[in-house]
A and B are shown apart, each in its own frame.
Chain A
């Protein structure tokens, strides 16, 4: 990744020397171009629909009739969609950026709340958090990628409503929970 190489050794949230743009602006500019390229090539980026498509694929692996009898799995369709390939690319990109950027190794487990005193309690919060983001995203029909990034990029009303709701409740929840380490 040329972008990762260009950002080599740059600490997060400080301006790279010799560049007029702070990292959030440079990386946001690149991400915006990637998002527009996706709409040009096949359609807007999205992630969360892949979760129920994986569920559908797992059901079809053992008993296809279950997937065919569930209206939501029928609506979401088969796993072979551009979005699934995109999701496969995500961890590859994360891995390459860590390696090529010579970034410090990511912590295996990052405590973020005062109530997370052990890895067990951290995993509990990560599990409940993961459950709620995907359940909420499927109820709304999209997540950060599909609704907030791609949605507002296309000037959709649903993206604006979802984004406002996410940040209102996210900021309220984050400020209500005591800070961890």
Chain B
């Protein structure tokens, strides 16, 4: 059943990304220029709700969640994020939103996907060269906040998620335009 669930989750994600405007490079650039915070607030809300629901379910039914935490190799993760940010601001797409854009009939999204496939090919070819300088050093492993904070994970999730939701509620959606919609 997993393939069916995964397709349905992808369809739901694609529809939500389209509805909120995250597959529009114009809207992404408005957000990165901090003129319109709708996508930033959407992402923070997604993270906060997902965090609270996941950890509540985990506390209610221990062992039921399929956690899969990515390793924290500080250099590669940080450098990859910095490179990603430049591409995000240049093209206005991320690896998922350009695939949603394809479904909407956006041609520049198709070009971004082709760029992404070439980027993946180049990464594949240089992987063994960057393994030692960027991926192996400073690897903290699959660490989470609860590995450093001596509180039950559900307590951290409620405080952090609740704080994010309160902050998003307080922030204006269109800074400078006096609207809090």
Contacts and interface: CB of A to CB of B under 8 A. Distances in A.
A129 B112 contact: yes
Contacts of B38: 12-13, 23-24
Given A133-B93, A141-B80, A143-B84, A83 B6 contact: yes
A177 to B, nearest CB: 7
Most chain A Cβ neighbours within 10 Å, of B23, B80, B90: B90
A96 B34 contact: no
Contacts of A106: 23-24, 101, 104-106
B173 A22 contact: yes
Interface string B73-92: 11011111111111111111
Interface string B46-90: 111111011101000000111111111110111111111111111
B166 interface: no
B10 to A, nearest CB: 2
A170 B88 contact: yes
Given A40-B64, A149-B50, A169-B81, A101 B19 contact: yes
Contacts of B111: 123, 126-127, 130
Contact of B15 (A4, A42, A129, A143): A4
Interface string A127-143: 11111111111111111
B123 A143 contact: no
Given A13-B21, A22-B173, A1 B12 contact: yes
* Number of chain B interface residues as a range: 35 or more
B125 to A, nearest CB: 8
A55 B83 CA distance: 21
Contact of B103 (A28, A91, A142): A91
A166 B43 CA distance: 13
A158 B66 contact: no
A136 B54 contact: no
B175 interface: no
A82 interface: yes
A142 B127 CA distance: 15
Given A25-B168, A55-B121, A165 B85 contact: yes
A22 to B, nearest CB: 6
A108 B49 CA distance: 33
Contact of B80 (A29, A84, A137): A137
A174 B120 CA distance: 24
Contacts of B15: 1, 3-4, 93-94, 96-97
B163 interface: no
Q: What 6 pairs between A and B have smallest CB-CB spacing?
A: A129-B91, A89-B10, A93-B14, A165-B81, A32-B49, A132-B87
Interface of B: 2-21, 23-29, 32-34, 36, 38-39, 41-51, 53-55, 57, 64-74, 76-109, 111-124, 127-128, 130, 134-135, 140, 142-146, 148, 153, 156-157, 160, 168-169, 173-174, 181
